Amino acid sequence: MQPLTNQALPFADRQNAGIVATALSLPAGIGALDITGSQRAGTSALLGALAAANSDVERLCIAADKRQARPGSTQELIYGVGAAALTVGGGANGDVIAEFIGHHSITEDFVDHYRGDGRKFDYFWEERWVRQEGHLKLIPAAVSGLLEKTGVDASAIDRLIVPVMSRGAPQSVAKATGIAAAAVAATLQANCGETGVAHPLVMLVAALEAAAPGDKILVCGFGQGCDALLFEATEALTGYPARRGVTGSLAKRRQETNYIKYLTFNGLLDMERGMRAEQDKQTALTTLHRNRGMLLGFIGGRCTKCGTLQIPRTRVCVNPNCGAHNTQVDEPFAEKPATVMSWTADQLAYSIDPPAHYGMVEFEGGGRLMVDFTDVDPGAVEVNMAIRMVFRIKDRDEQRGFVRYFWKAAPAGA
Protein backbone atom coordinates (compact mmCIF):
# COMPACT_ATOMS: atom_id res chain seq x y z
CA MET A 1 0.00 0.00 0.00
CA GLN A 2 1.41 3.37 -1.00
CA PRO A 3 -0.56 6.36 0.33
CA LEU A 4 0.75 9.70 -0.91
CA THR A 5 -0.57 13.02 0.36
CA ASN A 6 0.05 16.26 -1.45
CA GLN A 7 -1.75 19.56 -1.86
CA ALA A 8 0.19 20.57 -4.97
CA LEU A 9 0.21 17.37 -7.00
CA PRO A 10 2.30 17.42 -10.21
CA PHE A 11 -0.61 15.70 -12.00
CA ALA A 12 -4.31 16.28 -11.44
CA ASP A 13 -5.21 13.10 -13.36
CA ARG A 14 -2.41 10.58 -12.99
CA GLN A 15 -1.78 8.50 -9.90
CA ASN A 16 1.13 10.28 -8.28
CA ALA A 17 1.61 7.44 -5.78
CA GLY A 18 2.23 5.20 -8.79
CA ILE A 19 5.21 7.35 -9.82
CA VAL A 20 6.71 6.94 -6.35
CA ALA A 21 6.05 3.20 -6.33
CA THR A 22 7.85 2.80 -9.66
CA ALA A 23 10.77 4.94 -8.49
CA LEU A 24 11.09 2.65 -5.46
CA SER A 25 10.89 -0.45 -7.69
CA LEU A 26 7.98 -1.80 -5.67
CA PRO A 27 6.16 -4.82 -7.09
CA ALA A 28 3.14 -4.26 -9.31
CA GLY A 29 0.95 -6.31 -6.97
CA ILE A 30 0.60 -3.54 -4.37
CA GLY A 31 -2.20 -1.05 -3.85
CA ALA A 32 -1.49 2.66 -4.31
CA LEU A 33 -3.55 5.63 -3.19
CA ASP A 34 -3.43 9.43 -3.45
CA ILE A 35 -5.03 11.36 -0.59
CA THR A 36 -5.45 15.12 -0.88
CA GLY A 37 -7.91 17.98 -0.42
CA SER A 38 -7.10 19.07 3.13
CA GLN A 39 -4.15 20.17 5.25
CA ARG A 40 -4.69 17.15 7.48
CA ALA A 41 -4.37 14.74 4.56
CA GLY A 42 -0.98 13.70 5.96
CA THR A 43 -2.34 12.48 9.29
CA SER A 44 -5.44 11.05 7.61
CA ALA A 45 -3.25 9.01 5.26
CA LEU A 46 -1.19 7.80 8.21
CA LEU A 47 -4.36 6.73 9.99
CA GLY A 48 -5.42 4.82 6.88
CA ALA A 49 -2.07 3.04 6.74
CA LEU A 50 -2.24 2.22 10.45
CA ALA A 51 -5.76 0.84 10.11
CA ALA A 52 -4.59 -1.52 7.35
CA ALA A 53 -1.32 -2.48 9.06
CA ASN A 54 -0.49 -5.99 10.24
CA SER A 55 2.62 -7.83 11.32
CA ASP A 56 3.26 -9.44 7.94
CA VAL A 57 3.05 -6.60 5.42
CA GLU A 58 4.48 -3.11 5.68
CA ARG A 59 2.59 -0.04 4.49
CA LEU A 60 4.45 3.02 3.25
CA CYS A 61 2.95 6.43 3.98
CA ILE A 62 4.46 9.47 2.28
CA ALA A 63 3.36 13.05 2.87
CA ALA A 64 4.66 15.77 0.57
CA ASP A 65 3.65 19.33 -0.20
CA LYS A 66 4.80 22.25 -2.36
CA ARG A 67 2.40 25.14 -2.05
CA GLN A 68 2.76 28.34 -4.03
CA ALA A 69 2.72 31.66 -2.19
CA ARG A 70 1.98 35.02 -3.74
CA PRO A 71 5.14 37.17 -3.88
CA GLY A 72 5.21 39.64 -1.00
CA SER A 73 2.66 37.72 1.07
CA THR A 74 3.01 36.53 4.64
CA GLN A 75 2.77 32.96 3.36
CA GLU A 76 5.89 33.47 1.25
CA LEU A 77 7.85 33.97 4.47
CA ILE A 78 6.28 30.98 6.21
CA TYR A 79 5.75 28.27 3.60
CA GLY A 80 8.31 25.52 3.23
CA VAL A 81 8.57 22.57 0.88
CA GLY A 82 9.02 19.17 2.47
CA ALA A 83 8.19 15.51 2.66
CA ALA A 84 8.32 12.66 5.14
CA ALA A 85 7.91 8.90 4.81
CA LEU A 86 6.99 6.31 7.41
CA THR A 87 6.67 2.54 7.16
CA VAL A 88 3.81 1.07 9.17
CA GLY A 89 3.29 -2.52 10.27
CA GLY A 90 5.58 -5.45 9.48
CA GLY A 91 6.75 -5.63 13.07
CA ALA A 92 6.86 -9.40 13.41
CA ASN A 93 10.56 -9.19 14.31
CA GLY A 94 10.00 -6.63 17.04
CA ASP A 95 11.59 -3.81 15.09
CA VAL A 96 8.72 -1.30 15.41
CA ILE A 97 10.25 1.89 16.84
CA ALA A 98 6.93 3.53 17.83
CA GLU A 99 3.76 1.73 18.87
CA PHE A 100 0.44 3.27 17.86
CA ILE A 101 -1.74 3.66 20.95
CA GLY A 102 -4.85 5.30 19.50
CA HIS A 103 -6.42 8.30 17.82
CA HIS A 104 -9.38 10.64 17.90
CA SER A 105 -10.65 12.71 14.96
CA ILE A 106 -13.02 15.63 14.58
CA THR A 107 -14.46 16.67 11.23
CA GLU A 108 -15.84 20.19 10.91
CA ASP A 109 -16.00 22.37 7.82
CA PHE A 110 -14.01 25.17 9.40
CA VAL A 111 -12.60 27.24 6.51
CA ASP A 112 -9.45 28.99 7.67
CA HIS A 113 -8.16 29.11 4.09
CA TYR A 114 -8.97 27.56 0.72
CA ARG A 115 -7.72 27.30 -2.83
CA GLY A 116 -10.37 27.29 -5.51
CA ASP A 117 -10.24 24.93 -8.48
CA GLY A 118 -7.70 26.18 -11.00
CA ARG A 119 -6.34 28.82 -8.64
CA LYS A 120 -2.62 29.08 -7.97
CA PHE A 121 -2.63 30.55 -4.48
CA ASP A 122 -4.42 29.96 -1.18
CA TYR A 123 -6.85 32.55 0.17
CA PHE A 124 -6.58 33.08 3.94
CA TRP A 125 -9.10 34.43 6.44
CA GLU A 126 -8.34 36.70 9.41
CA GLU A 127 -5.56 35.18 11.55
CA ARG A 128 -6.94 35.98 15.01
CA TRP A 129 -10.32 34.46 14.21
CA VAL A 130 -8.64 31.31 12.81
CA ARG A 131 -6.59 31.00 15.98
CA GLN A 132 -9.43 31.53 18.43
CA GLU A 133 -12.23 29.62 16.68
CA GLY A 134 -10.14 26.99 14.93
CA HIS A 135 -6.79 26.17 16.51
CA LEU A 136 -7.80 26.78 20.12
CA LYS A 137 -11.16 24.99 19.93
CA LEU A 138 -10.81 22.10 17.47
CA ILE A 139 -7.30 20.95 18.39
CA PRO A 140 -7.88 20.85 22.19
CA ALA A 141 -11.15 19.00 21.60
CA ALA A 142 -9.38 16.35 19.51
CA VAL A 143 -6.52 16.03 22.01
CA SER A 144 -8.89 15.74 24.98
CA GLY A 145 -10.96 13.16 23.12
CA LEU A 146 -7.82 11.13 22.43
CA LEU A 147 -6.64 11.22 26.04
CA GLU A 148 -10.08 10.17 27.28
CA LYS A 149 -10.37 7.39 24.71
CA THR A 150 -6.93 5.93 25.45
CA GLY A 151 -7.00 6.50 29.20
CA VAL A 152 -3.65 8.27 29.08
CA ASP A 153 -3.15 11.15 31.48
CA ALA A 154 -2.09 14.49 30.03
CA SER A 155 0.95 14.55 32.31
CA ALA A 156 2.26 11.41 30.58
CA ILE A 157 2.69 13.15 27.22
CA ASP A 158 6.40 13.74 26.53
CA ARG A 159 6.04 15.50 23.17
CA LEU A 160 3.08 17.45 21.75
CA ILE A 161 3.16 18.17 18.02
CA VAL A 162 0.88 20.99 16.85
CA PRO A 163 1.96 21.97 13.31
CA VAL A 164 0.13 25.29 12.83
CA MET A 165 1.46 28.69 11.80
CA SER A 166 -0.31 30.61 14.57
CA ARG A 167 2.33 31.79 17.05
CA GLY A 168 1.73 30.55 20.59
CA ALA A 169 -1.07 28.19 19.54
CA PRO A 170 0.82 24.97 20.49
CA GLN A 171 1.50 26.35 23.98
CA SER A 172 -2.16 27.34 24.36
CA VAL A 173 -3.29 23.86 23.28
CA ALA A 174 -0.99 22.32 25.90
CA LYS A 175 -2.34 24.59 28.60
CA ALA A 176 -5.97 23.88 27.65
CA THR A 177 -5.46 20.12 27.76
CA GLY A 178 -3.23 19.88 30.84
CA ILE A 179 -0.09 18.87 28.92
CA ALA A 180 3.18 20.26 30.27
CA ALA A 181 4.52 23.33 28.45
CA ALA A 182 7.93 21.63 28.21
CA ALA A 183 6.37 18.89 26.07
CA VAL A 184 5.51 21.29 23.20
CA ALA A 185 7.62 20.44 20.16
CA ALA A 186 9.37 23.16 18.16
CA THR A 187 7.46 23.82 14.93
CA LEU A 188 10.69 23.88 12.83
CA GLN A 189 9.33 26.87 10.93
CA ALA A 190 12.54 28.86 11.47
CA ASN A 191 14.64 26.26 9.64
CA CYS A 192 12.42 24.54 7.09
CA GLY A 193 9.21 26.55 7.01
CA GLU A 194 5.68 25.18 7.37
CA THR A 195 5.51 22.24 4.97
CA GLY A 196 1.74 21.88 4.74
CA VAL A 197 0.32 18.35 4.75
CA ALA A 198 3.81 16.96 5.34
CA HIS A 199 4.47 18.99 8.48
CA PRO A 200 2.84 16.69 11.09
CA LEU A 201 4.91 13.78 9.77
CA VAL A 202 8.06 15.89 9.45
CA MET A 203 7.69 16.94 13.10
CA LEU A 204 6.94 13.33 14.10
CA VAL A 205 10.17 12.14 12.48
CA ALA A 206 12.08 14.93 14.22
CA ALA A 207 10.53 13.93 17.54
CA LEU A 208 11.45 10.27 17.05
CA GLU A 209 15.05 11.26 16.32
CA ALA A 210 15.31 12.75 19.82
CA ALA A 211 13.00 10.34 21.66
CA ALA A 212 13.86 7.72 24.25
CA PRO A 213 12.09 4.37 24.73
CA GLY A 214 8.82 4.89 26.56
CA ASP A 215 8.29 8.48 25.38
CA LYS A 216 4.72 9.24 24.39
CA ILE A 217 4.35 11.46 21.31
CA LEU A 218 1.02 13.10 20.48
CA VAL A 219 0.64 14.31 16.88
CA CYS A 220 -2.07 16.67 15.64
CA GLY A 221 -3.16 17.33 12.07
CA PHE A 222 -5.37 20.39 11.53
CA GLY A 223 -7.62 21.09 8.56
CA GLN A 224 -11.44 21.04 8.40
CA GLY A 225 -11.28 19.44 11.82
CA CYS A 226 -8.40 17.72 13.56
CA ASP A 227 -6.71 14.32 13.81
CA ALA A 228 -4.92 13.46 17.04
CA LEU A 229 -2.66 10.39 17.12
CA LEU A 230 -0.70 8.95 20.05
CA PHE A 231 2.51 6.90 19.76
CA GLU A 232 4.90 5.41 22.29
CA ALA A 233 8.58 4.91 21.43
CA THR A 234 9.83 1.35 21.93
CA GLU A 235 13.16 -0.22 22.88
CA ALA A 236 13.77 -0.92 19.18
CA LEU A 237 14.42 2.80 18.73
CA THR A 238 17.86 2.47 20.40
CA GLY A 239 19.08 0.01 17.79
CA TYR A 240 17.47 1.68 14.78
CA PRO A 241 20.01 2.31 11.96
CA ALA A 242 21.00 5.94 11.47
CA ARG A 243 19.03 7.91 8.89
CA ARG A 244 19.53 11.31 7.29
CA GLY A 245 16.16 12.29 8.73
CA VAL A 246 15.03 15.81 9.47
CA THR A 247 18.10 16.78 11.48
CA GLY A 248 20.53 15.57 8.84
CA SER A 249 18.60 17.13 5.97
CA LEU A 250 18.50 20.52 7.64
CA ALA A 251 22.19 20.30 8.53
CA LYS A 252 23.10 19.58 4.88
CA ARG A 253 20.86 22.25 3.40
CA ARG A 254 22.12 24.60 0.67
CA GLN A 255 21.21 28.22 1.24
CA GLU A 256 19.80 30.21 -1.67
CA THR A 257 19.69 33.99 -1.28
CA ASN A 258 18.87 34.90 -4.90
CA TYR A 259 15.22 35.98 -4.81
CA ILE A 260 14.94 36.14 -8.61
CA LYS A 261 16.10 32.53 -8.84
CA TYR A 262 13.53 31.55 -6.19
CA LEU A 263 10.73 33.19 -8.18
CA THR A 264 11.89 31.61 -11.41
CA PHE A 265 12.19 28.10 -9.97
CA ASN A 266 8.65 28.33 -8.58
CA GLY A 267 7.12 29.61 -11.81
CA LEU A 268 6.26 32.99 -10.28
CA LEU A 269 8.29 35.03 -12.77
CA ASP A 270 8.11 34.82 -16.55
CA MET A 271 11.80 34.87 -17.45
CA GLU A 272 13.36 35.16 -20.88
CA ARG A 273 14.92 31.73 -21.36
CA GLY A 274 16.62 32.31 -24.71
CA MET A 275 16.67 30.42 -27.99
CA ARG A 276 18.29 27.30 -26.56
CA ALA A 277 15.22 26.71 -24.42
CA GLU A 278 12.97 26.67 -27.48
CA GLN A 279 12.65 22.95 -28.02
CA ASP A 280 9.73 20.55 -27.96
CA LYS A 281 9.95 18.41 -24.83
CA GLN A 282 7.10 16.06 -25.59
CA THR A 283 7.47 12.77 -23.72
CA ALA A 284 6.78 9.64 -25.75
CA LEU A 285 4.51 7.81 -23.33
CA THR A 286 5.10 4.48 -25.10
CA THR A 287 8.86 4.81 -24.53
CA LEU A 288 8.33 5.93 -20.93
CA HIS A 289 6.21 2.86 -20.21
CA ARG A 290 8.52 0.46 -22.03
CA ASN A 291 11.58 1.73 -20.13
CA ARG A 292 9.90 2.68 -16.84
CA GLY A 293 12.13 0.36 -14.84
CA MET A 294 15.25 2.22 -15.88
CA LEU A 295 13.80 5.75 -16.19
CA LEU A 296 11.88 5.80 -12.91
CA GLY A 297 13.31 2.91 -10.91
CA PHE A 298 16.92 3.26 -12.12
CA ILE A 299 17.17 -0.45 -12.82
CA GLY A 300 20.17 -1.67 -14.83
CA GLY A 301 21.38 -5.15 -15.64
CA ARG A 302 23.71 -7.87 -14.38
CA CYS A 303 25.05 -10.50 -16.76
CA THR A 304 24.39 -13.96 -15.32
CA LYS A 305 27.27 -15.38 -17.36
CA CYS A 306 30.16 -13.06 -16.38
CA GLY A 307 28.66 -10.90 -13.60
CA THR A 308 29.23 -7.58 -15.38
CA LEU A 309 26.98 -4.73 -14.21
CA GLN A 310 25.70 -2.15 -16.66
CA ILE A 311 23.11 0.59 -16.97
CA PRO A 312 21.01 0.73 -19.03
CA ARG A 313 20.32 -2.97 -19.35
CA THR A 314 20.63 -4.25 -22.92
CA ARG A 315 20.23 -7.57 -24.70
CA VAL A 316 24.01 -7.84 -25.21
CA CYS A 317 26.53 -7.80 -22.35
CA VAL A 318 28.88 -4.81 -22.64
CA ASN A 319 31.87 -6.81 -21.40
CA PRO A 320 34.04 -7.21 -24.54
CA ASN A 321 35.28 -10.55 -23.23
CA CYS A 322 31.73 -11.83 -22.86
CA GLY A 323 29.20 -10.34 -25.29
CA ALA A 324 26.55 -12.87 -24.24
CA HIS A 325 22.99 -12.37 -25.47
CA ASN A 326 19.88 -12.31 -23.27
CA THR A 327 21.76 -13.17 -20.07
CA GLN A 328 20.98 -10.07 -18.03
CA VAL A 329 18.73 -9.84 -15.00
CA ASP A 330 17.52 -6.70 -13.23
CA GLU A 331 20.08 -4.93 -11.02
CA PRO A 332 19.02 -1.86 -8.95
CA PHE A 333 21.44 1.07 -9.15
CA ALA A 334 19.62 3.77 -7.17
CA GLU A 335 21.36 2.96 -3.87
CA LYS A 336 24.79 2.08 -5.27
CA PRO A 337 27.71 4.32 -4.23
CA ALA A 338 29.31 6.04 -7.22
CA THR A 339 32.07 8.49 -8.12
CA VAL A 340 32.56 11.16 -10.76
CA MET A 341 34.58 9.83 -13.68
CA SER A 342 34.44 12.99 -15.82
CA TRP A 343 32.39 16.16 -15.77
CA THR A 344 31.72 19.51 -17.40
CA ALA A 345 30.06 22.79 -16.48
CA ASP A 346 28.26 23.94 -19.64
CA GLN A 347 27.44 27.64 -19.97
CA LEU A 348 25.93 27.25 -23.46
CA ALA A 349 23.36 24.50 -22.97
CA TYR A 350 20.09 25.80 -21.54
CA SER A 351 19.67 25.38 -17.81
CA ILE A 352 17.31 27.13 -15.40
CA ASP A 353 20.27 27.19 -13.00
CA PRO A 354 23.39 27.70 -15.14
CA PRO A 355 25.95 26.36 -15.66
CA ALA A 356 24.54 22.93 -16.48
CA HIS A 357 26.68 20.36 -14.67
CA TYR A 358 26.77 16.85 -16.11
CA GLY A 359 29.21 14.04 -16.70
CA MET A 360 30.06 10.36 -16.50
CA VAL A 361 29.65 8.56 -13.18
CA GLU A 362 31.00 5.12 -12.31
CA PHE A 363 29.13 2.85 -9.90
CA GLU A 364 30.71 0.64 -7.27
CA GLY A 365 30.95 -2.86 -8.67
CA GLY A 366 30.61 -1.71 -12.28
CA GLY A 367 28.39 0.31 -14.57
CA ARG A 368 28.77 3.82 -16.01
CA LEU A 369 26.22 6.42 -17.10
CA MET A 370 26.15 10.02 -18.27
CA VAL A 371 23.87 11.99 -15.94
CA ASP A 372 23.04 15.52 -14.84
CA PHE A 373 24.44 16.77 -11.54
CA THR A 374 22.38 18.63 -8.94
CA ASP A 375 22.97 20.41 -5.63
CA VAL A 376 26.46 21.45 -6.74
CA ASP A 377 28.15 24.83 -6.87
CA PRO A 378 30.43 25.99 -9.71
CA GLY A 379 33.96 24.84 -9.00
CA ALA A 380 32.90 22.28 -6.41
CA VAL A 381 32.82 19.20 -8.66
CA GLU A 382 35.92 17.02 -8.82
CA VAL A 383 36.95 13.78 -10.51
CA ASN A 384 36.60 10.82 -8.10
CA MET A 385 34.16 12.82 -5.95
CA ALA A 386 31.69 10.54 -4.17
CA ILE A 387 28.09 11.01 -5.32
CA ARG A 388 24.68 9.51 -4.63
CA MET A 389 21.75 9.22 -7.00
CA VAL A 390 18.60 11.25 -6.26
CA PHE A 391 15.18 11.15 -7.90
CA ARG A 392 14.40 14.60 -9.32
CA ILE A 393 12.41 16.48 -11.94
CA LYS A 394 14.30 16.16 -15.23
CA ASP A 395 12.30 18.83 -17.04
CA ARG A 396 8.78 20.00 -17.82
CA ASP A 397 6.81 19.97 -21.04
CA GLU A 398 5.22 23.40 -20.66
CA GLN A 399 3.05 22.94 -23.77
CA ARG A 400 1.30 19.86 -22.43
CA GLY A 401 1.81 20.15 -18.68
CA PHE A 402 3.83 16.94 -18.34
CA VAL A 403 6.47 16.60 -15.61
CA ARG A 404 9.31 14.24 -16.47
CA TYR A 405 11.38 12.58 -13.74
CA PHE A 406 14.80 10.94 -13.77
CA TRP A 407 17.80 10.37 -11.51
CA LYS A 408 20.57 12.90 -10.99
CA ALA A 409 23.93 12.77 -9.24
CA ALA A 410 24.35 14.78 -6.04
CA PRO A 411 27.38 15.05 -3.72
CA ALA A 412 27.36 12.09 -1.33
CA GLY A 413 27.25 14.37 1.71
CA ALA A 414 24.45 16.62 0.39
Q: Which of 208, 211, 188 is nearest to 198 (CA)?
A: 188
Q: How many CB atoms lie within 10 A of CB 30?
A: 14
Burial of 384 (0-12, 13-18, 19+ CB in 10 A): exposed
Q: Residue 288, exposed/middle/buried by CB under 10 A (0-12, 13-18, 19+)?
A: middle
Dist CA 177 CA 155 (whole Å): 10
**412 C-beta neighbours (distance < 10 Å), count:** 12
Distance CA 254, CA 81 (A): 14
Could you report how far apart the first and last alpha carbons of the chain are, in Å? 30
pLDDT in tens, 379-414: 899 999 999 999 999 988 888 889 999 999 999 976
Task: Indicate the pLDDT class of residue 256, thresholds 50, 70 and 90.
Answer: confident
Give 222-253 pLDDT, tens digit per residue.
Answer: 999 999 999 999 999 998 888 889 998 898 88
**What pLDDT sits at residue 4?**
63
In a 3-state reduction of DSSP, which class is residue 339? strand
Per-residue pLDDT at 9: 81
Say what the pTM is. 0.90
pLDDT tens column, 138-171: 999 999 999 999 999 999 999 999 999 888 999 9
- Evaluate whether 313 touches 304 at the Cβ level (below 8 Å): no
What's the CA angle centered on 285, arms 280 and 286, to 5 degrees? 125
Cα 136 to chain center, whole Å?
29
* SS3 category, 90: coil
Q: Which domains does the chain have, with CATH numbers?
A: 2-251 (3.40.47.10), 283-411 (no CATH)
In angstroms, the CA 165 to CA 112 distance is: 12
Range in 134-138, 313-317, 348-352 the model is least confident about: 348-352
Mean pLDDT, the chain, rounded, equals 91
What pLDDT is stored for residue 180 in this prediction? 96
- Categorize the per-residue pLDDT at 185 as very low, low, confident or very high, splitting at 50, 70 and 90: very high
